[in-house]
Protein backbone atom coordinates (compact mmCIF):
# COMPACT_ATOMS: atom_id res chain seq x y z
CA UNK A 1 0.00 0.00 0.00
CA UNK A 2 1.20 3.47 -0.89
CA UNK A 3 -0.12 6.17 1.44
CA UNK A 4 -0.47 9.54 -0.27
CA UNK A 5 -1.29 12.83 1.44
CA UNK A 6 -3.07 15.29 -0.87
CA UNK A 7 -3.35 18.89 0.24
CA UNK A 8 -3.59 22.47 -0.96
CA UNK A 9 -5.01 25.81 0.08
CA UNK A 10 -8.73 26.51 0.10
CA UNK A 11 -9.88 27.06 -3.47
CA UNK A 12 -6.85 25.31 -4.95
CA UNK A 13 -8.93 22.57 -6.55
CA UNK A 14 -8.06 19.50 -4.47
CA UNK A 15 -11.49 18.02 -5.12
CA UNK A 16 -10.94 18.03 -8.87
CA UNK A 17 -7.50 16.46 -8.50
CA UNK A 18 -8.81 13.79 -6.12
CA UNK A 19 -11.66 13.02 -8.55
CA UNK A 20 -9.15 12.52 -11.36
CA UNK A 21 -6.96 10.30 -9.17
CA UNK A 22 -9.97 8.13 -8.32
CA UNK A 23 -10.68 7.79 -12.05
CA UNK A 24 -7.12 6.51 -12.43
CA UNK A 25 -7.69 3.91 -9.71
CA UNK A 26 -6.86 5.55 -6.37
CA UNK A 27 -8.69 4.75 -3.15
CA UNK A 28 -9.80 8.12 -1.77
CA UNK A 29 -10.16 8.96 1.91
CA UNK A 30 -11.69 12.44 2.05
CA UNK A 31 -11.03 14.14 5.39
CA UNK A 32 -13.60 16.89 4.73
CA UNK A 33 -16.33 14.32 4.09
CA UNK A 34 -15.36 12.39 7.21
CA UNK A 35 -15.26 15.65 9.20
CA UNK A 36 -18.90 16.20 8.25
CA UNK A 37 -19.83 12.63 9.18
CA UNK A 38 -18.29 12.80 12.67
CA UNK A 39 -20.39 15.87 13.55
CA UNK A 40 -23.64 14.64 12.01
CA UNK A 41 -26.80 14.93 14.16
CA UNK A 42 -26.78 12.47 17.04
CA UNK A 43 -23.01 11.95 17.07
CA UNK A 44 -20.79 12.51 20.11
CA UNK A 45 -18.73 14.82 17.90
CA UNK A 46 -21.63 17.22 17.40
CA UNK A 47 -22.35 17.14 21.12
CA UNK A 48 -18.78 18.17 21.86
CA UNK A 49 -18.94 21.03 19.33
CA UNK A 50 -22.17 22.36 20.85
CA UNK A 51 -20.69 22.07 24.33
CA UNK A 52 -17.69 24.13 23.24
CA UNK A 53 -19.42 26.77 21.09
CA UNK A 54 -23.03 26.85 22.26
CA UNK A 55 -26.35 25.98 20.60
CA UNK A 56 -26.12 28.96 18.23
CA UNK A 57 -23.94 26.85 15.92
CA UNK A 58 -26.90 24.55 15.23
CA UNK A 59 -29.27 25.00 12.30
CA UNK A 60 -33.03 24.81 12.78
CA UNK A 61 -33.05 21.09 11.92
CA UNK A 62 -30.45 20.27 14.58
CA UNK A 63 -27.55 19.85 12.18
CA UNK A 64 -24.33 21.82 12.43
CA UNK A 65 -24.57 25.27 10.84
CA UNK A 66 -21.16 25.11 9.20
CA UNK A 67 -21.11 28.66 7.76
CA UNK A 68 -22.00 30.13 11.16
CA UNK A 69 -19.39 28.02 12.95
CA UNK A 70 -16.86 28.91 10.26
CA UNK A 71 -17.44 32.63 10.73
CA UNK A 72 -16.70 32.16 14.44
CA UNK A 73 -13.57 30.00 14.29
CA UNK A 74 -11.77 31.32 11.22
CA UNK A 75 -11.52 34.78 12.74
CA UNK A 76 -10.14 33.47 16.05
CA UNK A 77 -7.11 31.11 16.11
CA UNK A 78 -7.87 29.97 19.67
CA UNK A 79 -11.42 28.94 18.79
CA UNK A 80 -10.18 27.24 15.64
CA UNK A 81 -7.72 25.26 17.77
CA UNK A 82 -10.58 24.15 20.04
CA UNK A 83 -12.62 22.96 17.08
CA UNK A 84 -9.65 21.11 15.62
CA UNK A 85 -8.98 19.39 18.96
CA UNK A 86 -12.52 17.98 18.83
CA UNK A 87 -12.77 17.02 15.17
CA UNK A 88 -9.27 15.91 14.17
CA UNK A 89 -8.96 12.88 16.49
CA UNK A 90 -12.35 11.63 15.28
CA UNK A 91 -11.35 12.09 11.65
CA UNK A 92 -8.03 10.37 12.26
CA UNK A 93 -9.64 7.27 13.74
CA UNK A 94 -12.17 6.95 10.91
CA UNK A 95 -9.47 7.51 8.28
CA UNK A 96 -7.39 4.71 9.80
CA UNK A 97 -10.37 2.35 9.67
CA UNK A 98 -10.97 3.10 5.97
CA UNK A 99 -7.27 2.74 5.13
CA UNK A 100 -7.12 -0.63 6.84
CA UNK A 101 -9.98 -1.83 4.63
CA UNK A 102 -8.10 -1.03 1.38
CA UNK A 103 -6.27 -3.70 -0.64
CA UNK A 104 -2.61 -4.34 0.13
CA UNK A 105 -1.48 -3.07 -3.28
CA UNK A 106 -3.73 0.02 -3.29
CA UNK A 107 -2.67 3.61 -3.76
CA UNK A 108 -4.59 5.28 -0.92
CA UNK A 109 -4.99 9.04 -1.30
CA UNK A 110 -5.84 10.97 1.86
CA UNK A 111 -7.38 14.34 0.94
CA UNK A 112 -6.31 16.43 3.96
CA UNK A 113 -6.87 20.20 3.76
CA UNK A 114 -4.86 20.97 6.92
CA UNK A 115 -2.05 18.49 6.36
CA UNK A 116 0.61 21.22 6.46
CA UNK A 117 -0.87 23.10 9.41
CA UNK A 118 -1.06 19.98 11.58
CA UNK A 119 2.39 18.61 10.72
CA UNK A 120 0.98 15.42 9.21
CA UNK A 121 3.43 14.99 6.31
CA UNK A 122 5.43 12.22 8.08
CA UNK A 123 2.32 10.02 8.09
CA UNK A 124 2.46 9.58 4.31
CA UNK A 125 4.83 7.94 1.83
CA UNK A 126 4.23 10.77 -0.64
CA UNK A 127 2.81 14.29 -0.18
CA UNK A 128 1.11 15.94 -3.16
CA UNK A 129 0.39 19.67 -3.03
CA UNK A 130 -2.18 21.18 -5.38
CA UNK A 131 -0.80 24.65 -6.02
CA UNK A 132 -2.36 27.86 -7.33
CA UNK A 133 -1.55 31.53 -6.91
CA UNK A 134 -3.30 33.30 -4.00
CA UNK A 135 -5.05 35.50 -6.55
CA UNK A 136 -6.60 32.40 -8.08
CA UNK A 137 -7.75 31.15 -4.68
CA UNK A 138 -9.40 34.49 -3.92
CA UNK A 139 -11.13 34.63 -7.30
CA UNK A 140 -12.52 31.10 -6.99
CA UNK A 141 -13.77 31.62 -3.44
CA UNK A 142 -15.56 34.84 -4.31
CA UNK A 143 -16.77 33.98 -7.81
CA UNK A 144 -17.53 30.27 -7.45
CA UNK A 145 -18.36 29.85 -3.76
CA UNK A 146 -20.07 33.18 -3.21
CA UNK A 147 -17.88 34.29 -0.31
CA UNK A 148 -17.26 37.93 0.43
CA UNK A 149 -13.69 39.01 -0.23
CA UNK A 150 -13.21 39.63 3.51
CA UNK A 151 -14.39 36.12 4.43
CA UNK A 152 -12.29 34.55 1.68
CA UNK A 153 -9.15 36.36 2.82
CA UNK A 154 -9.81 35.32 6.43
CA UNK A 155 -10.15 31.65 5.38
CA UNK A 156 -6.92 31.86 3.41
CA UNK A 157 -5.08 33.59 6.26
CA UNK A 158 -6.14 30.85 8.69
CA UNK A 159 -4.24 28.29 6.62
CA UNK A 160 -0.54 27.72 6.05
CA UNK A 161 1.18 29.94 3.51
CA UNK A 162 1.77 28.76 -0.02
CA UNK A 163 5.50 28.58 0.74
CA UNK A 164 4.95 26.34 3.77
CA UNK A 165 2.84 23.92 1.73
CA UNK A 166 5.42 23.72 -1.03
CA UNK A 167 8.18 22.98 1.51
CA UNK A 168 6.59 19.63 2.39
CA UNK A 169 5.66 18.64 -1.17
CA UNK A 170 7.13 15.55 -2.82
CA UNK A 171 4.98 16.24 -5.90
CA UNK A 172 3.41 19.55 -6.94
CA UNK A 173 0.37 19.73 -9.22
CA UNK A 174 -0.14 23.18 -10.74
CA UNK A 175 -3.86 23.90 -10.97
CA UNK A 176 -3.52 27.35 -12.54
CA UNK A 177 -4.01 25.62 -15.88
CA UNK A 178 -6.88 24.55 -18.20
CA UNK A 179 -8.62 21.29 -17.30
CA UNK A 180 -7.01 19.28 -20.12
CA UNK A 181 -3.54 20.22 -18.87
CA UNK A 182 -4.54 19.30 -15.32
CA UNK A 183 -5.83 15.92 -16.49
CA UNK A 184 -2.56 15.24 -18.31
CA UNK A 185 -0.51 16.19 -15.24
CA UNK A 186 -2.61 13.97 -12.96
CA UNK A 187 -2.08 11.01 -15.30
CA UNK A 188 1.68 11.62 -15.12
CA UNK A 189 1.51 11.73 -11.33
CA UNK A 190 -0.59 8.56 -11.24
CA UNK A 191 2.03 6.70 -13.27
CA UNK A 192 4.66 7.80 -10.77
CA UNK A 193 2.51 6.72 -7.82
CA UNK A 194 1.90 3.31 -9.36
CA UNK A 195 5.63 2.91 -9.92
CA UNK A 196 6.37 3.82 -6.31
CA UNK A 197 3.68 1.42 -5.09
CA UNK A 198 5.16 -1.41 -7.13
CA UNK A 199 8.67 -0.74 -5.87
CA UNK A 200 7.54 -0.50 -2.25
CA UNK A 201 5.72 -3.83 -2.59
CA UNK A 202 8.81 -5.66 -3.86
CA UNK A 203 10.61 -7.72 -1.19
CA UNK A 204 14.13 -6.50 -0.40
CA UNK A 205 16.97 -8.32 -2.12
CA UNK A 206 18.99 -10.69 0.01
Given a cut of 70, whether residue 26 has pLDDT beyond it is yes
Model pLDDT, residue 104: 84
pLDDT, tens digit, 9 for 90 and up, residues 167-179: 999 999 999 999 9
Looking at the fold, whether 149 and 199 belong to one and the same domain comes out as yes
Looking at the fold, whether 57 and 112 belong to one and the same domain comes out as no
Tell me which range, 5-9, 67-71, 101-105, 201-205, is most confidently predicted by mean pLDDT.
5-9
32: in domain: no
**Count of the separate structural domains present in the chain:** 2
Q: Which CATH number is 192's domain given?
A: 3.40.50.300
Model pLDDT, residue 204: 57
Model pLDDT, residue 121: 96
pLDDT, tens digit, 9 for 90 and up, residues 130-155: 999 999 999 999 999 999 999 899 88
Looking at the fold, whether 4 and 83 belong to one and the same domain comes out as no
Q: How confident is the model at residue 206 (pLDDT cuts 50, 70, 90)?
A: low
Given a cut of 70, whether residue 198 has pLDDT beyond it is yes
Beta strands in 101-203 (DSSP E): 107-111, 126-131, 171-174
Given a cut of 80, whether residue 205 has pLDDT beyond it is no
**CA 118 from chain center: how many Å?**
11
Residues of the chain with pLDDT > 70: what percent?
97
Looking at the fold, whether 95 and 118 belong to one and the same domain comes out as no
Q: How confident is the model at residue 156 (pLDDT cuts 50, 70, 90)?
A: very high
Residue ranges making up the domain that contains 76: 38-104
Q: CA–CA separation, 25 vs 38, rounded Å?
A: 26
**CA 70 from chain center: how many Å?**
16
Residues of the chain with pLDDT > 90: what percent?
78
Q: What mean pLDDT value characterizes the chain?
A: 92
Close Cβ partners of 52 (under 8 Å, ≥ 6 residues apart): 82, 83, 86
75: in domain: yes
**Last residue of a domain, which of 83, 104, 125?**
104
Looking at the fold, whether 113 and 98 belong to one and the same domain comes out as no
- Return the closest-CA partner of residue 194 out of 106, 135, 83: 106
Looking at the fold, whether 122 and 199 belong to one and the same domain comes out as yes
**Last residue of a domain, which of 62, 87, 104?**
104
Model pLDDT, residue 127: 98
**Last residue of a domain, which of 81, 104, 127?**
104
Looking at the fold, whether 66 and 159 belong to one and the same domain comes out as no
Looking at the fold, whether 132 and 205 belong to one and the same domain comes out as yes
Looking at the fold, whether 141 and 50 belong to one and the same domain comes out as no
31: in domain: no
Amino acid sequence: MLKVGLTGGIGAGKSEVSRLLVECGAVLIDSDRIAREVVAPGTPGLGSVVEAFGPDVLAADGSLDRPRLGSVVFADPDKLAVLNSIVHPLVGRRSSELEAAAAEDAVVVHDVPLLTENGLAPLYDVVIVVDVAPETQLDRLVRLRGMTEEDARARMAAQATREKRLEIADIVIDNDVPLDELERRVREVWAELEDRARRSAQPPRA
